[in-house]
Amino acid sequence: MGGSLKAAHARSIEDREGFWAEQAQLIDWHEPFEKVLDYSRPPFARWFVGGQTNLCHNAVDRHLDSLGDEPALIYVSTETDQERVYTFRELHAEVVRMAAIMQSLGVGRGDRVLIYMPMVAEAIFAMLACARIGAIHSVVFGGFASGSLASRIEDASPSLIVSADAGSRAGKVIAYKPLLDEAIRLSSHKPANVLMVDRDLAPMTMVEGRDHDYSTLRERHLDAKVPVTWLESNEVSYTLYTSGTTGRPKGVQRDVGGYAVALAASMKHIYCGNAGETYFSSSDIGWVVGHSYIVYGPLIAGMATIVYEGTPVRPDAGILWQLVEKYRVTVMFSAPTAIRVLKKQDPSHLTRYDTSSLRALFLAGEPLDEPTARWISEGLGRPIIDNYWQTETGWPILTVAHGIEQTPTRLGSPGMPMYGYDVRLLHEQTGREVGANEKGVIAIVPPLPPGCMQTVWGDDDRFVSTYFESIPGRQVYSTFDWGIRDDDGYYFILGRTDDVINVAGHRLGTREIEESISSHPAVAEVAVVGVADQLKGQVAVGFAVLKDPGSIEQADARLALEGEIMRTVDRQLGAVARPARVHFVTLLPKTRSGKVLRRSIQALCEGRDPGDLTTIEDPGALDQVRQALA
């Protein structure tokens, strides 16, 4: 593309169709599209109308001639000590076998297949097999228990569920089959078939007639030929639920052609990955990052993708960088939460391996606080790029695009609006546009660009009412995040719109207070919530995880540190932002995707029920909050 990011962005808004018609050349089309954008029914956008394509073709088949014997999928499990490299040709063969199995189980175009799997190669075969035959996959994070799984089975009504005997986390085996059986029992929808991958980690009781063994069926379809099913661009590729940080998860529905184009464009302009190189995202296929940047994005770009089962600290805190060295990773994607985990460990792990192949480390999913950004960029000596987006959008809204221009990054800012997103900062109450250095709700004027959600699965009304009706007077997409823009156009995320507290008439973002507290050298991580207070309306209360929890075993050490932290906030933000209390815990309550459940903490602080906890990582974290409050 060349030129400046701002110019590319301006063009993408002024000449939407021209801009995206060009990007569409990055993928293969079986039949060309007749119309770039159909926006006759706002806010529903239909991209590349009439075009026929296929995600699996673009991710796999398309590369067979040029990259057939090059690595496509690099599977590494530090849980089961397995490592296996599949070339594009081998990946193709496995995907075709999986597609044949699915067809033999009656799965066809438009049918739903729910994938409840740990990080194993077969999970990726299953996703790509669905894409190949036009089935709609719905991946459910393998760490979820029966309740969460049941509600997703209910919503997606799959004819087939693909699962495995067990997952493993930090050396602990978690049997999936009993959880799955219980979820199917709880759900009113019953799948006709269940396909089980047996990893030999946990015993399984198979249900006669419903449950099938993957390796047996695979043998039967070893030489299968399953041609790609060409799909109209707007057919559904998958559904996926949001993380559930702020309430009941929403079933995000995505298309085929728009998604493929958006990912191909982002790989080129934002992630700057080239065919033949290796991409490593330490996320999980259960999240949107896993869909876009473990599976489809890298493969569409002809890159090998590392599929990693394990934690960032086992066998030691150098494992991620060891993989970077071994596979000459050029682009890496992780989350601030993973980096904060590493921050509690010996920093020498960062320099033990040769990470010079790495062009950049991208971090997304939650606010990247300055101390963490500084720690990792100095420790690694590689560029760190924050990117801000949502399950709903599928690819970054705000970041820098070094494939277009070498825009410098700014600590604490994910960057600028990406091409295709008409981003505005709007006043919460009046809907008027705010100026530079003024806080507003981050909103996007529709149509949303290609790759973004089409609707809420099975619920168009919820799509419109949830996302497009919260700003008074205009139909714009709300991200439900606060932001601010500096004079140069860099955005800063100030937290979620429901994470604002009101202290004696001052509106403060909990994020700002968290930033301030985490700048204290003893603090590894912190969550701040607003708690009702008779005098002030609300006061800030912090829950901090220390780098060295042993340092505050004595009560007076604890008090002294609490005082020091309060003075840090006084100095940086003013006394009005000073937390009324800072409690020390060793664990924060988070969703399974690593986001802090501030609402639940706040509820406990106010003596209320913590609410829907189906997405919580470790309920023990809430007990710590309870104990701290007691």
Binding site for Mg ion (CB under 5 A): 242
| Residue 413 interacting with ligand ATP (CB under 6 A) | no
At which residue do the structure tokens 């993957």 appear?
214
Q: Which of 107, 267, 338, 364 binds ligand ATP (CB under 6 A)?
A: 364
By the 8 A CB rule, do 389 and 402 touch? no
Region binding ligand ATP by CB under 6 A among candidate stretches 16-24, 143-151, 237-245, 542-550 = 237-245
Q: Is 244 helix (H, G, I), strand (E, B) or coil?
A: coil
| Residue 387 interacting with ligand ATP (CB under 6 A) | yes
Q: How far is Cα 151 from Cα 136, in angstroms, rounded to an integer?
A: 17
At which residue do the structure tokens 């590349």 appear?
48
Q: Pull the structure tokens for residue 16.
A: 């939407």
Q: How far apart are the first and last CA of the chain?
A: 58
| Residue 237 interacting with ligand ATP (CB under 6 A) | no
Name the strand (E) or helix (H) holding 554.
none
Minimum distance of ligand ATP from residue 102's CB (angstroms)? 28
Provide the residue type at 239 as one letter: T
| Residue 266 interacting with ligand ATP (CB under 6 A) | no
Q: Which of 177, 382, 496, 520 binds ligand ATP (CB under 6 A)?
A: 496
List the single partner that 593 binds among Mg ion, ligand ATP, none, CB under 5 to 8 Å by kind. Answer: ligand ATP
Minimum distance of ligand ATP from residue 195's CB (angstroms)? 27
Q: Which of 134, 158, 167, 365 binds ligand ATP (CB under 6 A)?
A: 365
Looking at the Cβ atoms of 58 and 479, the one nearer to ligand ATP is 479
Backbone CA torsion sign across 385, 386, 388, 392: positive
Minimum distance of ligand ATP from residue 397's CB (angstroms)? 9
Looking at the Cβ atoms of 319 and 493, the one nearer to ligand ATP is 493
Minimum distance of ligand ATP from residue 148's CB (angstroms)? 12
Query: What CA–CA distances, in Å, run from 250 to 314, 445, 535?
Result: 33, 21, 37
Q: Which of 243, 292, 518, 614 binds ligand ATP (CB under 6 A)?
A: 243
Determine the size of the site formed for ligand ATP (CB under 6 A). Answer: 25
| E strands present in 349-451 | 360-364, 384-387, 398-399, 416-417, 423-426, 440-444
Backbone CA torsion sign across 560, 562, 567, 568: positive
| Residue 593 interacting with ligand ATP (CB under 6 A) | yes
List the single partner that 414 binds among Mg ion, ligand ATP, none, CB under 5 to 8 Å by kind. Answer: ligand ATP
Please give the backbone phi and psi of residue 171, each rounded to the nearest 5 degrees, phi first.
85, 0
DSSP tag of 31: B
Closest CB to Mg ion: residue number: 242
Minimum distance of Mg ion from residue 75's CB (angstroms)? 30
| Residue 386 interacting with ligand ATP (CB under 6 A) | yes
| Residue 390 interacting with ligand ATP (CB under 6 A) | yes
List the single partner that 413 binds among Mg ion, ligand ATP, none, CB under 5 to 8 Å by kind. Answer: none
Count Cβ neighbours within 10 Å for each residue of 425-435 and write b for 16 or more, e otherwise.
bbebeebeebe
List the single partner that 266 binds among ligand ATP, Mg ion, none, CB under 5 to 8 Å by kind. Answer: none
Minimum distance of Mg ion from residue 240's CB (angstroms)? 12
Helices 5-14 and 16-23 meet at what angle, rounded to 10? 110
| Residue 417 interacting with ligand ATP (CB under 6 A) | no
Q: Which of 142, 167, 191, 244 binds ligand ATP (CB under 6 A)?
A: 244
Region binding ligand ATP by CB under 6 A among candidate stretches 21-29, 94-102, 243-251, 561-569 = 243-251
Q: Is 155 helix (H, G, I), strand (E, B) or coil?
A: helix
Looking at the Cβ atoms of 267 and 397, the one nearer to ligand ATP is 397
Quick one: the chain helix, strand, coil %, rounded to 5? 35, 25, 40
Q: How far is Cα 270 from Cα 626, in angstroms, rounded to an integer?
A: 43
Q: Which of 118, 158, 167, 367 binds ligand ATP (CB under 6 A)?
A: 367
Region binding ligand ATP by CB under 6 A among candidate stretches 124-132, 211-219, 382-390, 576-584 = 382-390
Q: What is the CA radius of gyration of the chain?
A: 24
Burial of 549 (0-12, 13-18, 19+ CB in 10 A): middle
Q: How far is Cα 112 from Cα 158, in angstroms, rounded to an integer?
A: 4
Q: How far is Cα 531 from Cα 480, in angstroms, rounded to an integer?
A: 21
List the single partner that 514 binds among Mg ion, ligand ATP, none, CB under 5 to 8 Å by kind. Answer: none
The residues of the shown chain that bind ligand ATP, judged by CB under 6 A, are 242-247, 249, 364-368, 386-391, 414, 479, 481, 493, 496, 593, 595
